[in-house]
């Protein structure tokens, strides 16, 4: 039988207490009687005070350390090459900064003098300085404010149109999820027992000085699950390093000895960059025997079943020209920069590519992780070297020729994100200058093509103008120029919903495909506004054919994700060598060659330094100046937005985001 009650004695410092628990309580929960003596309470307060003082003493040291590190960074950093080539925008922002600082000094002086100029009559003006300030206010109200107000209204309209487009894309994505709309394979699958039923597939791996990642891409392509006599892998090497060429040749020889149908091609003259490399490879005589071509950049690692998940979609659909897979990132949690990139690219694939593929059968080819029907490439003119976005170029021309595209959101290919801001900035410059080059070149062909009017309108107004031109234009103009300007021109002040509510709502929509990144919502919004400077500059250079529009810089890879794969690959190689007794007469071990190259790097280390980005730094001080002016007027949200946006520009301008180079 259960006892009706239990008496529990609990001993505390300086105190004893009795608790009685009735047997009728099924939970038998102990309700602790908390009794604290005055002595205990005093010690508790002393402990809290000690922690507060420790925190206060740590704060100056942290600020001092941060200041010294920033000072050292400025002393040792280099100005980026791109900054030196885009002086016009930098000079414009710098002049704007000087004017803003001068205006802030005037506003502070007027604030300290407690001038109420609205109540002063002209004959009551005291001194030349007060008269000049009243003249400026009158000129501002009559001439400057209307101009700024017109510009802000124009940018707000563009902002609303682009936000509506993004909202429609998100609704389309929700509809796809709700209806479970996915591309289906027409017809039966290929007969596994009959290898001749599989189509001939060409796999191309274009690369250029990809020392860190070439081994993993070749290994992944060599392990694709496809009949050996129905696949050919082309390693298209544009490297200018003789040692690296030998290393890649060695890797290719290793897989060839294992029975993989793989060849190595190297161009002596590297013209046309990636487009020229692919064009040269497609000119080989044996290509006519192949029906499809799969393209993977050097840092991409397809799963063995990639071809079996993509190529069957072409069966029974002769109008299908491209099957695009989604990217997945091995280093998305490496640092803050990769986390923010992951948010952007998840939205691009999950929403933009999927919705356009499902409802329009058209989207921009991502340049890798896709399978093309070779006939579609040939009928569309093949690879052209006229822009830095050869992938978007061939996609637009294929669309104008009537070919359809599908996007497979469930098929993911592993790749790597740029971990340094320098690499990411160069990548974004190429991605935003190239489309404007292409728009200039393709506009006559789009207008005169035989596709429907709706498809022409989609290409011109949505694909190019709205998403490639208007987005960087209003982002930079509205949030980096007009917003700080309105702090000195209160008559044209932007409403709260423009700088707060709609941007946060749009950022929330962007982050939905990567919900785990929700804590980075505000940093994502601030960083995207910061990147608008690079995107705007790239868009202008591409639209007006400036010198930087023709730059094609290979995105730097760290190879951080491939180290474990390389070790695992070496273990598999050693086992296969023991089992199959393969004798490699004309090549060394890949790991031995890699060790030699590492020793050479240790002997002659490359001097790498973080860079300073002047446009970002000048804009940081401009926004902080505007924040100070906003503080005088107690603008509230405007002040906080300008403050944190200015600090974000400062962090990026000092290259304190992403991979740090000592």
Q: Distance between CA atoms of 267 and 257, rounded to whole angstroms?
A: 24
On whether the CB atoms of residues 357 and 363 are closer than 8 A, the answer is: yes
Q: Which of 238, 299, 393, 655 is catalytic?
A: 238
Examine the residue annotation and report whether 25 is marked as an active-site residue of this protein. no
| Residue 19, phi then psi, degrees to nearest 5 | -125, 130
CA distances for 205 relative to 97, 235, 295, 456, angstroms: 47, 5, 6, 33
- Kindly give, in sequence order, each residue whose CB lies less than 8 Å from that of residue 9, ignoring residues fewer than 6 positions away: 16, 17, 18
Contact present, 301 and 325 (Cβ < 8 Å): no
Rg for the chain (alpha carbons), in Å?
31
Of 297, 391, 393, 565, catalytic: 391
CA triple 502-361-475, angle to 5 deg: 25
Between CA 89 and CA 481 the distance in angstroms is 12
How far does CA 530 lie from the centroid of its chain? 12
CA distance 535 to 581: 55
Is 391 an annotated catalytic residue? yes
Q: Quick one: which of 415, 206, 450, 148 has its CA closest to 302?
A: 415
Q: How far is CA 90 from the centre of its chain?
A: 23
- The neighbour count for residue 439, using CB atoms within 10 Å, is 22
- 656 closest CA partner among 77, 62, 64: 77
Query: What is the rounded distance in angstroms from the CA atom of residue 107 to the CA atom of residue 462?
Result: 43
Helix (H, G, I), strand (E, B) or coil at 614: helix
Q: What is the DSSP letter of 494?
A: P
Cite the active site residues.
Answer: 238, 391
């Amino acid at each position: 039988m259960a006892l009706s009650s239990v008496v529990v004695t609990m001993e505390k410092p300086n105190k004893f207490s009795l608790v009685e628990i009735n047997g009728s309580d099924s939970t038998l929960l102990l309700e602790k009687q908390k009794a604290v003596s005055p002595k205990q309470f005093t010690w508790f307060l002393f402990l809290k005070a000690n922690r507060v003082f420790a925190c206060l003493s740590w704060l100056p040291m942290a600020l001092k350390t941060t200041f010294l590190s920033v000072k050292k960074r400025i002393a040792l950093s280099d100005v980026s090459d791109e900054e030196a080539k885009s002086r016009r925008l930098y000079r414009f922002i710098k002049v704007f900064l000087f004017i803003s600082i001068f205006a802030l000094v005037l506003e502070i002086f007027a604030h300290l003098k407690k001038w109420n100029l609205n109540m002063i009559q002209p004959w009551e003006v005291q001194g030349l300085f007060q008269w000049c300030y009243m003249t400026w206010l009158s000129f501002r109200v009559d001439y400057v404010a209307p101009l700024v107000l017109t510009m802000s209204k124009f940018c707000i309209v563009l902002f609303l149109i682009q936000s509506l487009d993004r909202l429609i894309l998100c609704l389309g994505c929700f509809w796809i999820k709700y209806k479970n709309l996915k591309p289906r394979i027409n017809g039966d699958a290929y007969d596994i027992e009959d290898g001749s039923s599989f189509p001939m597939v060409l796999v191309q791996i274009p690369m250029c000085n990809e020392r860190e990642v070439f081994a993993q891409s070749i290994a992944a392509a060599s392990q694709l699950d496809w009949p050996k006599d129905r696949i050919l892998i082309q390693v298209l090497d544009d490297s200018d390093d003789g040692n690296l060429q030998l290393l890649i040749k060695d890797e290719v020889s290793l897989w060839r000895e294992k029975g993989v149908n793989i060849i190595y091609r190297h161009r002596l003259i590297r013209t046309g960059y990636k487009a020229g490399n692919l064009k040269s490879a497609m000119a080989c005589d044996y290509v006519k025997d192949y029906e499809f071509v799969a393209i993977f950049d050097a840092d991409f690692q397809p799963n063995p079943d990639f071809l079996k998940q993509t190529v069957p979609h072409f069966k029974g659909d002769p109008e299908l020209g491209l099957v695009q897979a989604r990217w997945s990132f091995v280093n998305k949690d490496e640092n803050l920069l990769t986390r923010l990139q992951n948010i952007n690219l998840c939205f691009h694939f999950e929403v933009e590519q999927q919705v356009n593929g499902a409802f329009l059968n058209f989207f921009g080819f991502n340049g890798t992780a896709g399978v093309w029907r070779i006939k579609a490439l040939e009928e569309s003119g093949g690879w052209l070297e006229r822009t830095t976005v050869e992938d978007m170029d061939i996609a637009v021309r294929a669309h104008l020729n009537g070919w359809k595209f599908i996007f497979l959101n469930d098929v993911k290919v592993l790749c790597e994100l740029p971990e340094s801001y320098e690499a990411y900035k160069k990548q974004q410059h190429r991605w935003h200058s190239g489309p404007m080059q292409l728009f200039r070149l393709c506009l006559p062909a789009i207008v005169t093509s035989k596709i429907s009017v709706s498809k022409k309108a989609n290409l011109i107004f949505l694909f190019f103008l709205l998403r490639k031109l208007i987005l960087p234009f209003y982002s930079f103009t509205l949030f980096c120029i007009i917003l700080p300007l309105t702090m000195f021109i209160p008559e044209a002040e932007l409403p709260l919903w423009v700088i707060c509510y709609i941007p946060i709502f749009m950022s929330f929509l962007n982050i939905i495909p990567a919900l785990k990144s929700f804590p980075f919502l505000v940093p994502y919004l601030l960083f995207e506004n910061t990147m608008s400077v690079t995107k705007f500059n790239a868009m202008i250079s591409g639209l007006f054919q400036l010198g930087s529009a023709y730059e094609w810089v290979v995105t730097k890879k760290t190879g951080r994700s491939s180290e474990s794969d390389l070790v695992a690959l070496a273990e598999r190689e050693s086992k296969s060598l023991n089992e199959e007794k393969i004798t490699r007469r004309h090549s060394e071990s890949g790991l031995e060659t890699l060790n030699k190259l590492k020793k050479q790097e240790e002997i002659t280390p490359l001097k790498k330094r973080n860079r300073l980005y002047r446009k970002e730094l000048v804009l940081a001080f401009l926004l902080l100046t505007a924040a100070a002016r906003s503080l005088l007027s107690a603008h509230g949200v405007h002040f906080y937005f300008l403050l944190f946006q200015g600090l974000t520009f400062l962090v990026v301008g000092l290259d304190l985001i992403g991979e740090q180079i000592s």
